[in-house]
Chains A and B, each alone.
Chain A
């Protein structure tokens, strides 16, 4: 089946991200496709470029990047939720007169329409929230 995840909890602040990543690994092991992860609400902080957890903690940002690299999962960040929380790619940063972006590929800023589309076009959408 084609799965999408909606992540609404910030990294480390809540277990939502850990739960989503565990579920992601398990669904792939069971032969499903994780096509899309959509980050909304405080979930957008998962895309922060400079996450720097201590070495004995899992690196949640890298875990998302691995899903993209190994399974082609799209990592979509709601642009409205991201901008108001300081998550900007290079293009948005320069548009807003800021030096340097705080979000980089494979995370991509995108509209809420992508969430609606994922919810209706994928076989399953599972939400992980704080």
Chain B
């Protein structure tokens, strides 16, 4: 886990608090992050609460061929979104150890969440 002094700063913090497939919150939050990054903004992503499930490996399309969001996560490095953070307690709550994740992520403690809010001029909550 990073301590607070190592936390990223940037132009925009996108907080993703919903898991994949159940609603459009995750997809539309990621779309906002990708567009901001494509426009040259420095974007940090924070996965929180049920949103940490977005990071799980082996996600599939839904039974109606819904795309899911894993392909978007895999595109993040192409857009130079490299600051992926997730709340450690929420990962633990879902039993998501590093070996269960599809993409590498920085695990942060609860104190880091407030620090991240303060370090970004714009915070979008999804």
* Complex contact flag A–B (Cβ < 8 Å): yes
Given A111-B35, A116-B39, check contact A41 B28 (CB 8 Å). Answer: yes
Which residues in chain A, 55-111, are within 8 Å of chain B measured between CB atoms? 80-81, 111
Interface residues on B, range: 10 to 19
Contacts of A119 in B (CB 8 A): 12, 122, 124
Q: Please report the C-alpha to C-alpha distance between residue A6 and residue B36 in the assembled complex, in whole angstroms.
A: 15
A contact patch SS: helix
B contact patch SS: mixed
Which residues in chain B, 104-126, are within 8 Å of chain A measured between CB atoms? 121-122, 124-125
26 A-B pairs in the complex with CB atoms less than 8 angstroms apart: A6-B124, A40-B28, A40-B32, A41-B24, A41-B25, A81-B24, A81-B28, A112-B31, A112-B35, A113-B35, A113-B36, A115-B32, A116-B12, A116-B36, A116-B41, A117-B39, A119-B12, A119-B122, A119-B124, A120-B12, A120-B41, A120-B121, A120-B122, A125-B122, A127-B125, A129-B125
8 smallest beta-carbon distances between A and B, as pairs: A112-B35, A119-B122, A116-B36, A113-B39, A112-B32, A41-B28, A113-B35, A120-B122
| Residues on B facing A (Cβ under 8 Å) | 11-12, 24-25, 28, 31-32, 35-36, 39, 41, 121-122, 124-125
